[in-house]
Amino acid sequence: MKTQELKTILIVEDDQDILFSMEMLLECENYQVQTAKNGKVALDLIKTHGLPHLILLDMMMPVMDGWEFSHQLAAQYKKRCPIIVMTGAADAQQRARDINANDWIEKPFELNKLLVKIRKNLDEENKCNKPLMENGL
Amino acid sequence: MTTTNDENKAESMLKNAAEKAALLLKDAAEKASHLPLDAAEKAALMTMNAAEKAAQLPLDAAEKAALLLKETTERNMFMPAEIKAALVLKDAAEQACLMPKDSVSKMTELLNDATRKAVLIIKEEAEELTAKKNKFLDLAAHELRNPITSISLLLKVAEKQIEAGQPVAVNVLERLRGPVDRLVRLVVDLLDMSNLERGTLVLVKAKTNIVSLISQCLEEFQIQASERNFIFNKPSESIELNIDPLRINQVLSNFLDNAIKYTHRGDIEVSLVEMSQTVRISVIDHGEGIHPEKLSSLFTTFFRGSSDVTVQTSGLGLGLSVCKGIIELHHGTIGVLSEVGKGSAFYFDLPKMDGAL
């Protein structure tokens, strides 16, 4: 009767409205959500709470952008967690490649498409554990 | 007899060549301002041909052609790069005139050399502009996609709440306002910029009391940003100017918006000072100030300051360049005085009404 541990997703995004709605929507999907308005805040969060299961990363942000964040993350932590790049730029795929991200999604996106990507990446990360996906969509 | 004939022939040859050269240059210069790269190359070829022809004519012909070349380039090249290029050509043409009669080949070489230099200048400018425009398009894509993403996700939240039999939360609806406003401002800024660049932005001027225009604008800002303190050093008498009140309000709002966005504390002052020919309106903040090397690019298109708060204006860096365009249409000037650590004063000077006051 062990309840499944909630997966933590960290959203790094400077647009407060996107942060607000994604937090609500992902919580509806039974994820534990952390939010950061730039790369620096995200690094601080990780320092305090440890690595999340997955990171949703915007690239163009003030103070610390997605490139610098991923660079710092790789330098500071040996362990990796999947990163999905969310970007409004035309070269989303290139940006994802730049930082060696696992996946990418172009803004504006459909929520369902993002959810599929999140699940797929968490699943791959979790391969050694018993996969137990029970999301009701 | 023969000499006179020859002279006449040379004279008419010169006239033809010079006229052709002038036309070619004018044509190329005009094209260059529309299609920078292509036209620059074409202009190069044309100028080179013209220069070669001119150099092959007798000395007095070359002299005249050089003069024409100089005049044409000066008259028809408006862009900074083109003026630079024209100066290079002019110098070369002048030098060619001073050369002895027999050094036609040297003259050609000199003119060709100058032409190549001129073309390089225009080409470099065109390439720089293209790079800037590409960067701008990237930014525009980002700035358009973000509010659309917000709207789409917020609507999804509302849908979920309705599906769950709950009323849509007020804060979800309130949040929709922000990205919608941002999209509206973005589109307005883009249209303004494009109208300014095409010269199709038309002012609707009217006799306007600038004192009450400022007071009204500040009242609105005081409601919008109630946490900030706005001070207006109001003159005792009203001042009337012949201006487009909506456009001047737009410029003032942009200044105030920037003051709120880029400074976090301190009063925001608006001052109105009458000078002999003009009236100066300044928005003074007590923020961090702007580094001297950034000051010159502030009013150019695509410049955007860095801010750690969510950018409320379009964020395309069009704001201040639109302001500059509007003030210049009023035959006024726009500028900024700033000291790092103390704050900045953005100002615009508007001409006083003729005979009035």
Cβ-Cβ pairs closer than 8 A, A with B, add up to 66
CB contact under 8 A, A89 and B156: no
Task: Please name the member of B137, B152, B160 whose beta carbon is closest to the beta carbon of A28.
Answer: B160
CA distance B84 to B96: 19
CB contact under 8 A, B156 and A63: no
* Residue B115: predicted pLDDT: 80
**Residues A11, A35 contacting (CB under 8 angstroms):** yes
CB contact under 8 A, B307 and A60: no
Listed in sequence order, the residues at least 6 apart from B318 whose beta carbon sits closer than 8 Å to its beta carbon are B189, B190, B192, B193, B301, B302
- Nearest-CA neighbor of B341 among B284, B286, B285, B288? B288
Q: What is the mean pLDDT of chain A?
A: 87
Residue A75 C-alpha, separation from nearest chain B C-alpha, in angstroms? 25
Residue B246 C-alpha, separation from nearest chain A C-alpha, in angstroms? 30
**Cβ-based interface (< 8 Å): residues of A facing B:** 14-18, 20-22, 24-25, 28, 38, 60, 62-63, 87-90, 106-109, 111
Task: Please name the member of B137, B150, B157 whose beta carbon is closest to the beta carbon of A15.
Answer: B150
- Position A134 pLDDT exceeds 60: no
Q: For Cα atoms B173, B177, B180, give the angle at the middle one, nearest 5 degrees.
A: 125
List pLDDT tens digits, range B87-128. 777 777 767 767 665 666 777 777 778 888 888 888 888 888
* Residue B308: predicted pLDDT: 39
Task: Please name the member of B146, B148, B153 whose beta carbon is closest to the beta carbon of A21.
Answer: B153
**Candidates B145, B162, B168, partner chain A, best to mutate (most A CBs within 10 A):** B145
CB contact under 8 A, B175 and A20: yes
CB contact under 8 A, B142 and A60: yes
B202 at A interface, C-beta within 8 A:
no
CB contact under 8 A, B175 and A18: no
Q: Which residues on chain B are in Cβ contact (under 8 Å) with A19?
A: none
CA distance B353 to B240: 7
- Position B80 pLDDT exceeds 80: no
CB contact under 8 A, A21 and B154: yes
Task: Please name the member of B137, B138, B148 whose beta carbon is closest to the beta carbon of A108.
Answer: B148
Check residue A59 and report its DSSP letter.
S
Report the percentage of chain B scoring pLDDT > 70: 68
Q: What is the mean pLDDT of chain B?
A: 77
CB atoms within 10 A of CB A111: 19
Q: Which residues on chain B are in Cβ contact (under 8 Å) with A136?
A: none
* Residue B357: predicted pLDDT: 39
- Position A21 pLDDT exceeds 90: yes
Strands B268-274 and B278-284: antiparallel
- Position B284 pLDDT exceeds 80: yes
Residue A128 C-alpha, separation from nearest chain B C-alpha, in angstroms? 33
Residue B24 C-alpha, separation from nearest chain A C-alpha, in angstroms? 40
Q: Is residue B281 very low, low, confident or very high in pLDDT (cuts 50, 70, 90)?
A: very high
Q: Is residue B315 very low, low, confident or very high in pLDDT (cuts 50, 70, 90)?
A: low
B144 at A interface, C-beta within 8 A:
yes
Residue B137 C-alpha, separation from nearest chain A C-alpha, in angstroms? 9
* Residue B143: predicted pLDDT: 79
List pLDDT tens digits, range B204-251. 999 999 999 999 999 999 988 888 899 998 888 889 999 999 999 999
Q: What number is the ipTM of this complex?
A: 0.82
Highest mean pLDDT among B94-98, B130-134, B212-216, B336-340: B212-216
Residue A55 C-alpha, separation from nearest chain B C-alpha, in angstroms? 18
Task: Please name the member of B146, B157, B307 whose beta carbon is closest to the beta carbon of A21.
Answer: B157
CA distance A64 to A47: 16
CB contact under 8 A, B150 and A38: no
Residue B308 C-alpha, separation from nearest chain A C-alpha, in angstroms? 6
Q: Which residues on chain A are in Cβ contact (under 8 Å) with B153?
A: 17-18, 21-22, 25, 111
List pLDDT tens digits, range A85-111. 998 877 778 888 888 899 999 999 999
Strands B206-209 and B240-243: antiparallel
Residue A79 C-alpha, separation from nearest chain B C-alpha, in angstroms? 30
- Position B310 pLDDT exceeds 50: no
* Residue B149: predicted pLDDT: 93
Report the percentage of chain A scoring pLDDT > 70: 90
String of DSSP letters for B133-185: HHHHHHHHHHHHHHHHHHHHHHHHHHHHHHHTTPPPPHHHHHHHHHHHHHHHH
B145 at A interface, C-beta within 8 A:
yes
Q: Is residue B62 very low, low, confident or very high in pLDDT (cuts 50, 70, 90)?
A: low
* Residue B298: predicted pLDDT: 80
- Position B175 pLDDT exceeds 50: yes
* B270 φ/ψ angles, rounded to the nearest 5 degrees: -120, 130
Of B76-90, B160-174, B343-357, which gets the smallest average pLDDT? B76-90
- Position A65 pLDDT exceeds 80: yes
- Position A39 pLDDT exceeds 80: yes
Answer with the residue of higher pLDDT: B313 or B158.
Answer: B158
Helix (H, G, I), strand (E, B) or coil at B102: coil
* B44 φ/ψ angles, rounded to the nearest 5 degrees: -60, -50
Q: Is residue B271 very low, low, confident or very high in pLDDT (cuts 50, 70, 90)?
A: very high
B residues 304-333 lying closer than 8 A (beta carbon) to A? 306-308, 310
CB contact under 8 A, B150 and A62: no
- Position B69 pLDDT exceeds 60: no
* Residue B11: predicted pLDDT: 57
* Residue A87: predicted pLDDT: 86
Does the pTM of the predicted model rise above 0.80? Answer: no
- Position B307 pLDDT exceeds 50: no
CA distance B254 to B313: 8
